[in-house]
Amino acid sequence: MITPSKFGDAILSLFFPRKCPLCGRIAPEGEEAHLCQECARYLSAELEIRCPVCRCRATECRCTPKPLRKAMSTVGDRKFIAVGFYQPKSKSALLNRLIYTVKNSTDDTAARVLARMLSKEILKHFLKNGEEVREWIITYPPRRRRNKRKTGVDQAKRIARFVAKDLGAEFEAVFTRKREAEQKRLSKEDRIKSAADTYAVRSTADCCGKRYILCDDILTSGATLSSCAEKLIAAGAIDVFAATALYSLPKGKVFPYRSDVPWFNEVNS
């Protein structure tokens, strides 16, 4: 039976066909990622890029930034999940272009692409480790108000909303920003200090006894997510896990996290 909503979607797709967010070509109907076939093929190849430290794909990489090692809960043998690697200064990388589109365009297609890939990885990992993903709440660190006014979008919120919808999990806007400091030009140490003063749990939020998945667009130093996780735990949350669309390619000073490595064999980054 054709429902009114499906009939409406069919009419819209007839007059306004879905376009690939990377090249603008019309994407085939029924494609879950809504990319054209050529871009989907190149994107699949890009997802095979290996971490320079542990030689794993992003979905398997455990080179966890030090702040996340202390702040995040462990699900299985992971403290975070990412779909692919962000390649700094690369204008041709398709994943970079998807993130740029999510940050600067009001079209939701790119956000849906990244969210669908991320939700698949979250679900696969949680099922593997006996976790019921619907018992977790999806939340996010909000974007700077200045950037949100400029572009009309909050990229982490968009991704988090679509991930929650894909997983059938609850979505909750837990955080508010106290400061509008720009993070990307700061050093690693300054990022950690700045993030600690930037975010706060809303006074109306009840976090006691809850479990959260923190969604963001890019994991770099881990300062933002670790600060948010610490505030959730302080507010009564029992578990916080990180999930980001991309992970900025680790450098040599980041070492693979292994939950079974004795503390005296760990190398401090």
Residue 125 lies in a domain: yes
9 has pLDDT over 60: no
> Averaged over 82-93, what is the pLDDT?
90
The predicted-structure confidence for 196-232, as pLDDT tens digits, reads as follows 778 999 999 999 999 999 999 999 989 999 999 999 9
Let me know if residue 12 belongs to a domain. no
Predicted TM-score (pTM) of the model is 0.82
Q: Is residue 86 part of a domain?
A: yes
Number of domains in the chain: 1
Decide if 1 is inside a domain: no
Whether 145 is in a domain gets the answer yes
Write the pLDDT tens digit of every residue in 100-139: 999 999 989 899 999 999 999 999 999 999 999 999 999 9
For residues 59-64, give the mean pLDDT: 90
Mean pLDDT, the chain, as a whole number?
A: 83
What pLDDT sits at residue 186? 58
Does the residue 3 lie in any domain? no
Classify residue 82: in a domain, yes or no: yes
Residue range(s) defining the domain that contains residue 170: 23-265
Please state the three-class secondary structure of 190-246 as a single string.
Answer: HHHHHHHHHEEECCCCCCCCCEEEEEEEEECCCHHHHHHHHHHHHCCCCEEEEEEEE
The CATH number of whichever domain residue 56 belongs to comes to: 3.40.50.2020
Question: Is 128 part of a structural domain of the chain?
Answer: yes
